[in-house]
Structure 1
Amino acid sequence: MSRSSWWRNHEGILTTFYPLFLSQIVSFVRALISFASSLVVNLGANTPLSLSFFTYTALTLVYGGIMIYRRQKLQIPWYWYALIGFADVQGSFLVNKAFQYSSITSVTILDCWTIAWVMILMWLILGTRYSLWQFFGTAVCLGGLGLVLLSDAKASDGSGTCLFPKCLFRS
């Protein structure tokens, strides 16, 4: 069997696992960014906005370059992109600022709620319909959130910071 016929026979598998592989790379990079943010804060630097500078610069260079290369026009007026970008920068600022007041585990727990809240808000505001697979994916994320929550509660029994009831009411 030649190599090209193997690819043709297994194209469905590859189209399924390629996006999954890419999403795992994105998750790994996000974990590295969170670790780096926590490390910078632990070293005493107070730079929550500049921690995101390279991320936004890379996004601008990559996607701006792709749009220029393809000679695409903007889908919506530029000021909507500016407004959404401003909101995203503020969110990133607050996440990076949270590392000064909490542990990396607690910040990750709060960050994991994003997927569930976006689904709820999009359902309420835009009336978006979701498939069972999307609900399943959200359930997996919330299951991971529960595991991180248990890990944080167990780790904070001795010392450290925790955002949840067992730690909040400790005297």
Structure 2
Amino acid sequence: MDSSDDKKIQLPENASLELPYNATPSTEPTSQRPPIDYTSVSAFFGSSARRFKSLWTRRFTLSLLAGQLVSLCITCTNVTTTELVNRHWDLSTTQNLFLYFSLFAVYTPYTMYRYGFVGWAKMVFRDGWKYVILAACDVEGNFMAVKAYQYTDLLSCMLLDAWAIPVCMFFSYLYMRKGYHWTQILGVFICITGLGLLVGSDELTKKDWVAAAKGKGDAFMVAGATLYGFTNATEEFFVRRRPLYEVVGQLGMWGTLICGAQAAGLEHRGMVTATWDGATIGLILAYTAALFILYTVAPLLYRMASSAYYNLSLLSSDWYGLIIGLGLYHYSPFWLYFVAFALVLIGLITYFWSSTPEEQGELDPKAPDYVNTRGAREETV
């Protein structure tokens, strides 16, 4: 085979997203948890200790760290958005346009390089409509969440945003037919309890504000959270079957078109009157960089663990918001914040008490691999 043949990977004529669930081969062996021994008290505690030790595999540790990285990225976007609003720069759709364009500019050319332009065009023609739906839901989910903060109070936003977790788990079950162990449900409950303590801390320290139109804002947040849950589960479904650069590149390309059209229609006057000074541009760059990292790491986390785990990890973002707020906004730490953060971490560990990341993300080795037109296995990230 000529060395130039390795540079581009062509899609087969029948390639599409309609592949069996277990289409991408696992890179790690299945790792079963040690059983719990209930024959005696000492046996129970000993076997529980072995089970806890078995949690800390390389993949679980990376999943935990990746989850906290995306949580920190969310915190950075919240801080930069707050600073932009304080500077009377409130163009939420235009703000997200820079994100989608950056994803498009980085990942789409690389996808073209991997597939060749003809192979890329065939993929877009065949599967583009699915990515249009994914991108549209992602754009509108971001738009509705920002709108919700303008109308309802912070307490409602934080509580209703957690609706994305059961929505994500529901669609993940529809797509992949993987049931949830009771320890996973318990882990979700513990994480949401931690969220409740965070909300209670904000209420006790009077960090909330009066809602301008509570019903309207709550409806926006429920709709946004529903779209978030749907897009997270759908993107996980895609990245378990397609290379990550294809999925993220398509999300960026169609997101740029949809978000650009929406910004032109809703914010064209604001673009002209807005202040585009150095500080504003710096905040936009920081916002875009944080979300670029998030949109790059999230698909990796979907593969290492799951989209449900990704959503649970985001619940710790308020903790990082407190740390940043200590310096920027002179927040006073409330003791419940520490308990809440500990509960979120305990919930994340409990989520994998019985089901390992390898088992959640493991794909059937008997399923067909991706192949290019020359018969070589398709490379996945």
Q: TM-score range by the shorter chain?
A: 0.5 to 0.7
What pairs with 1:74-93 in structure 2 (closer than 5 Å)? 74=123, 77-93=127-143
1:152 aligned to 2:197? no
The percentage of aligned residue pairs carrying the same residue is 25
Aligned residues between the structures: 150
Query: Larger C-alpha radius of gyration, 1 or 2?
Result: 2
TM-score (normalizing by structure 1): 0.67
Q: 3-state DSSP class of the match of 1:77?
A: helix
Deviation at 1:97, TM superposition (A): 2.0
> Among 170, 179, 191, which residue is 1:130 paired with?
179
Per the alignment, do residues 29 and 119 of structure 1 end up closer, same or farther by CA in structure 2, a change over 3 Å counting? same
Deviation at 1:95, TM superposition (A): 1.1
What pairs with 1:1-171 in structure 2 (closer than 5 Å)? 13-71=57-115, 74=123, 77-102=127-152, 106-120=156-170, 123=173, 128-132=177-181, 134-156=184-206, 160-161=209-210
TM-score (normalizing by structure 2): 0.34
**What amino acid sits opposite 1:51 in the alignment?**
Q
Rounded to whole Å, the distance in 2 between the matches of 1:137 and 1:63 is: 34
Higher alpha-carbon deviation: 104-113 or 146-155: 104-113
Alpha carbons 1:38, 1:104 under 8 Å: kept:
no
Deviation at 1:65, TM superposition (A): 4.6
Deviations 1:32-72 (A, max 9, x none): 11222233223322211122223323333444355334428
Deviation at 1:26, TM superposition (A): 1.0
Alpha carbons 1:48, 1:96 under 8 Å: kept:
yes
Deviation at 1:91, TM superposition (A): 0.9
Alpha carbons 2:93, 2:143 under 8 Å: kept:
yes
Rounded to whole Å, the distance in 2 between the matches of 1:95 and 1:159 is: 17
Alpha carbons 1:116, 1:138 under 8 Å: kept:
no
Q: 3-state DSSP class of the match of 2:57?
A: helix
Q: Which runs of 5+ in 1 are unaligned?
A: 1-11, 164-171
Higher alpha-carbon deviation: 72-81 or 84-93: 72-81
Higher alpha-carbon deviation: 132-141 or 77-86: 132-141
| Cα root mean square deviation, aligned | 3.2
Q: Which runs of 5+ in 2 are unaligned?
A: 1-55, 215-381
Q: Which has the higher contact order (CA 8 A, sep 6+)?
A: 2
**What amino acid sits opposite 2:132 in the alignment?**
A
Rounded to whole Å, the distance in 1 between the matches of 2:66 and 2:179 is: 22
